[in-house]
A and B are shown apart, each in its own frame.
Chain A
Amino acid sequence: MNFDFSDEQKQMRDEARKFLSEQCPPKAVREVLDGKAPYDKALWKGLAEMGFLGVAIPEQFGGAGAGHLELCVIAEEMGRALAPVPFSSTVYLAAEAILIAGSDAQKQKWLPKIASGDAIGTLALFEGKGNPSPKAIKVAANGGVLNGVKKPVADGAIADFAVVAARTGSSGRESDISLFIVDLKAGGVEVKSLTNIDLTRGQAEITFKDAKAEPLGAAGEGWGVITQVLDRAAVLTAFEQVGGADRALEMGRDYALDRIAFGRPIGSFQAVKHMLADMYVSATLARSNCYYGAWALSTNAGELPEAAAAARISATQAFQHCAKNNIQVHGGMGFTWEFDCHMYYRRANAVALGLGSPSYWEDALIDRMRKKNAA
């Protein structure tokens, strides 16, 4: 059994970590946090040059053609560094949707631009409160144009294009939903930035008024693609979350070793030690669930839906748990703007919601386990 990443994949992780520690220090994240830029353009360009944006995109479409295990190790480092770039929306959502459902021409058109960093993409799915559901989709497609409002859309204000889930039928079933690619810089599209708890990654409201839309995949098959995209993105995002959880744990551990109170490092107090031990436990369980997700994703195994939900739930819990207790270990300093703890706390809580909230994935996991049991 070799239930682990290969030496080459680990080497890629080291490269990504080195690159991000140099190109994406907390100071760079703060440029975006403080509203000086909508995202880190230089970092985005650098990621493209390193080949990280197209790591799982086949060579024929301008990518590195490495694979999804390689993308997982990079995702972990992106999460660890809190990279303020539209990596998840472009690479996990838009690119995966096109890889799954796109025609050859669509792949030729969009994937090389994604790999080179020339096109930022996103998935426009949500329409206000609620979790992923065909019933919640009101944006309608008729005669090649879209009408309606999507919000929140991750990185919507900086994206060049969006994969949009829209209604093409009225049967009340999943088969009402189809996917479209919309050029967000073209006419009929209004984009408004929305404030959100993670200041390092933007959210937007997008209004379509007779916006020109190009079908992605067959009509009426959009929901199936959305489900696949969300499962794949769940695994990749879970790696980002584990990267963030590990970094938050490390920050807490380092502070506990340095900070003296009552004449001892606070890390010698059992209450603090046990809090950090519990952070380690949650991060470890999440990492192991993520590895299973990575295996299922990379082999396209039938276990992917269940593995993705488990990785998603476990990693969400771990990142939230580590981020909040990192602040607790830091005490009053942890609650200052100046310390980086809140950046992880913000990211942990925003990323917990973006692909469907924890309760959505809990429901999905049990559903999937039940189906497997019944089969």
Chain B
Amino acid sequence: MNFDDTPQEAAFRAEAKAWIAANAPKQYEEELRKASLGRVQLKGANILEVAKAWQKKKADAGWACLHWPKEYGGRGSSPIERVIWQQEEGPFGRLSSMFIIGHGMCGPTMMAFAGEEQKRKYLPPLASGEKVWCQLFSEPAGGSDVAGLRTRAEKQGDEWVINGQKIWTSGAHYSDYGILLTRTDPNVAKHKGLTMFFLDMKSPGVEVRPIKQASGASDFNEVYFTDVRIPDSQRLGNVNDGWNVSLTTLMNERMSIGAGVATGFPELFDFCNSLMLEDGPAIENRAVRAKLANWAVKASGLKYTSMRAISALSRGERPGPENSIGKLVAGSMIQDVATYALDLQGAAGALTGPEDAEVAGKFQAMLLRAPGTRVEGGTDEIMRNIIAERVLGLPGDIRVDKDVPFNKIPTKGRA
């Protein structure tokens, strides 16, 4: 039992470390390190431009999309090398947040279902960050139940005509391309009438409207399709086989190992170390210590669970569904930690101005962002279902609409 690299891993780490030291945009390091959960902004610089420049530099030197094949802009690395890269990239990895969907989901889907010519055309600029991709799955009627979606695609000659609406589309407002799941046959069961495409987000009839979130930020969008035309050559997989294509995409969404999930604990511990309460330092208060200890063991439990997963990768094993616990635990923990950090400040905890709020308003930002963490990429409830069904082997949920034609499924609860 040890934390050591194998000789090959150590050599790879040294190479990565040296390249990052020589090339990373160090002027932003401190700001990136301190950035709040889910919000990366840089003072006096356009984050998208900085991110694209860093990604391009990585791609030119062969450090982009490490696990992708070289011919599509990657490096052909092993999963453990990808983890080592993430560890060494550290805060600069936060610059990649706008490429996560493209690299993690759209790219792998294209790789599995696009034609060879298309792969060679579209994948390298996706890897290098020159083109940004988004994923158009969720709809007002299809969130966790993705197959409930209603956006229609109708065949007209060699083209498909798209009408409908998507929602919660991360990054659609700066994306160049998207992968799109549509309904092509409403007369069959919901999973059996879907088809996947990819499209140019600048196509006529595509309208992107940013959504102002509960946190006040606008990272997500509504996307409207009005008679948008997509050539049949941009279909991914067979007609009405979109569900299976989307499963490939969703399986790639599995939490990436190694980057470390944000729990808010280090920030809370530091804060309690410095905060003075009415009767002395917060860290010396027994009730505070009990709370801290309980979060400390969750944070360390997640850290060492991740190290066990990295060890498995190092042995050449693939990550399993048990790795879904990171988001489940960290999501509600960061919400509780933020709530408690504000509790400790009394009425002043409600202030958000960086000059008025402790730790430059970081806990307030965490509080307002945390509800999203518990929903995006699968709600807490979906995560628990995954653990119960795929890890513990419990029966799947009952799906009363499974064999009902889509157009016969009720659309309202209370009539």
Cβ distance A257 to chain B, nearest Cβ, rounded Å: 7
Asked whether A4 and B304 contact (CB < 8 A) given A253-B393, A273-B394, the answer is no
A133 at the interface (CB under 8 A from B): no
Cβ distance A292 to chain B, nearest Cβ, rounded Å: 5
Q: Mark A287-316, 1 if CB is under 8 A from B, else 0.
A: 011011011001000000000011001100
Tell me the complex Cα distance, A253–B395, Å: 11
Among A4, A249, A277, A313, residue most surrounded by chain B Cβ atoms (within 10 Å) = A277
For B5, the chain A residues whose CB sits under 8 A away are 1
Query: For chain A residues 127-181, which have a beta carbon within 8 Å of chain B?
Result: none
Structural contact, B1 and A256, CB atoms closer than 8 A: no
Structural contact, B304 and A291, CB atoms closer than 8 A: yes
Q: Among A2, A257, A370, point to the contact of B4 (Cβ < 8 A).
A: A2
Among B1, B389, B393, B398, residue most surrounded by chain A Cβ atoms (within 10 Å) = B1
Asked whether A362 and B290 contact (CB < 8 A) given A2-B4, A285-B329, the answer is yes
Structural contact, B1 and A370, CB atoms closer than 8 A: no
Tell me the complex Cα distance, A280–B320, Å: 14
Structural contact, B325 and A256, CB atoms closer than 8 A: no
Structural contact, B394 and A3, CB atoms closer than 8 A: no
For A5, the chain B residues whose CB sits under 8 A away are 1
Cβ distance A211 to chain B, nearest Cβ, rounded Å: 37
For A314, the chain B residues whose CB sits under 8 A away are 297-298, 300-301
Structural contact, B1 and A281, CB atoms closer than 8 A: no
For B308, the chain A residues whose CB sits under 8 A away are 3-4, 288, 291
Structural contact, B1 and A257, CB atoms closer than 8 A: no
A69 at the interface (CB under 8 A from B): yes
Tell me the complex Cα distance, A361–B298, Å: 15
Structural contact, B395 and A363, CB atoms closer than 8 A: no
Tell me the complex Cα distance, A2–B311, Å: 5
Tell me the complex Cα distance, A276–B290, Å: 26
Structural contact, A289 and B387, CB atoms closer than 8 A: no
Q: Among A270, A286, A309, A362, point to the contact of B381 (Cβ < 8 A).
A: A270
Structural contact, A2 and B381, CB atoms closer than 8 A: no
Tell me the complex Cα distance, A342–B12, Å: 52
Among B286, B289, B293, B396, residue most surrounded by chain A Cβ atoms (within 10 Å) = B293
Structural contact, B273 and A2, CB atoms closer than 8 A: no
B23 at the interface (CB under 8 A from A): no
Cβ distance A361 to chain B, nearest Cβ, rounded Å: 7
Asked whether A289 and B301 contact (CB < 8 A) given A257-B394, A274-B384, A278-B384, the answer is yes
Asked whether A1 and B394 contact (CB < 8 A) given A281-B387, A295-B1, A313-B293, the answer is no
Q: Among A3, A284, A285, A365, point to the contact of B293 (Cβ < 8 A).
A: A365
Cβ distance B315 to chain A, nearest Cβ, rounded Å: 8
B27 at the interface (CB under 8 A from A): no
Q: Among A3, A69, A272, A274, point to the contact of B3 (Cβ < 8 A).
A: A3
Query: For chain A residues 43-84, which have a beta carbon within 8 Å of chain B?
Result: 69
Structural contact, B283 and A257, CB atoms closer than 8 A: no
Q: Mark A180-200, 1 if CB is under 8 A from B, else 0.
A: 000000000000000000000
Cβ distance B271 to chain A, nearest Cβ, rounded Å: 13
B304 (CB) vs chain A CBs: closest residue: A288
Structural contact, A1 and B311, CB atoms closer than 8 A: yes
Interface size, chain A (Cβ < 8 Å): 48
A307 (CB) vs chain B CBs: closest residue: B300
Structural contact, B2 and A253, CB atoms closer than 8 A: no
Interface size, chain B (Cβ < 8 Å): 50
Tell me the complex Cα distance, A359–B292, Å: 12
For B269, the chain A residues whose CB sits under 8 A away are 369, 373
Asked whether A3 and B1 contact (CB < 8 A) given A273-B384, A285-B329, the answer is yes
A366 at the interface (CB under 8 A from B): yes
For A259, the chain B residues whose CB sits under 8 A away are none
A264 at the interface (CB under 8 A from B): yes
Among B283, B302, B308, B385, residue most surrounded by chain A Cβ atoms (within 10 Å) = B308
Q: Among A253, A272, A291, A365, point to the contact of B297 (Cβ < 8 A).
A: A365
A317 at the interface (CB under 8 A from B): yes
Tell me the complex Cα distance, A253–B388, Å: 9
Cβ distance B378 to chain A, nearest Cβ, rounded Å: 13
Among A267, A276, A281, residue most surrounded by chain B Cβ atoms (within 10 Å) = A281
A11 at the interface (CB under 8 A from B): no
A103 at the interface (CB under 8 A from B): no
A270 (CB) vs chain B CBs: closest residue: B397
Asked whether A3 and B388 contact (CB < 8 A) given A361-B293, A366-B283, the answer is no
Q: Mark B277-314, 1 if CB is under 8 A from A, else 0.
A: 00000010010011011101110111111011011101
B392 at the interface (CB under 8 A from A): yes
For A273, the chain B residues whose CB sits under 8 A away are 384-385, 388-389, 392, 394
B322 at the interface (CB under 8 A from A): yes
Tell me the complex Cα distance, A281–B289, Å: 23
Tell me the complex Cα distance, A274–B381, Å: 8
B251 at the interface (CB under 8 A from A): no
For B322, the chain A residues whose CB sits under 8 A away are 284
B14 at the interface (CB under 8 A from A): no
Tell me the complex Cα distance, A69–B391, Å: 26
Cβ distance A305 to chain B, nearest Cβ, rounded Å: 13
Tell me the complex Cα distance, A369–B392, Å: 35
B59 at the interface (CB under 8 A from A): no
Cβ distance A267 to chain B, nearest Cβ, rounded Å: 4
**What are 14 inter-chain pairs, A to B, with CB distance below 8 A?**
A249-B392, A264-B395, A265-B395, A268-B396, A273-B388, A278-B384, A285-B301, A289-B297, A289-B304, A310-B296, A310-B300, A317-B297, A363-B289, A363-B290
CB-CB nearest 5 A-B residue pairs: A285-B301, A362-B293, A288-B304, A273-B388, A268-B395
Q: Interface on B for A, CB 8 Å cutoff?
A: 1-5, 9, 269, 273, 283, 286, 289-290, 292-294, 296-298, 300-305, 307-308, 310-312, 314-315, 322, 325, 328-329, 381, 383-385, 387-389, 391-398
New A-B pairs, 10, CB < 8 Å, besides A265-B395, A280-B388: A1-B4, A3-B3, A3-B304, A3-B310, A4-B308, A257-B395, A274-B384, A281-B328, A289-B304, A314-B298
